[in-house]
Amino acid sequence: YSDLRLLKVVETRFASIIVMLKRIQRV
């Protein structure tokens, strides 16, 4: 349970970082 929750948090942060990088590349 704990590991799954942690994995979900990491996944969300990773996704947000990817979105930020894509936005930076656009500019």
| 1-27 tens-digit pLDDT | 689 999 999 999 999 999 999 999 987
Chain centroid to CA 26 = 18
* Cα four-point dihedral sign 17, 21, 22, 24: positive
Question: What is the domain partition of the chain in residue ranges?
Answer: 1-27
27 CB neighbour count, 10 Å cutoff: 4
Residue 27 has a pLDDT of: 78
Cα separation, 16 vs 23, in Å, equals 11
Residue 2 has a pLDDT of: 84
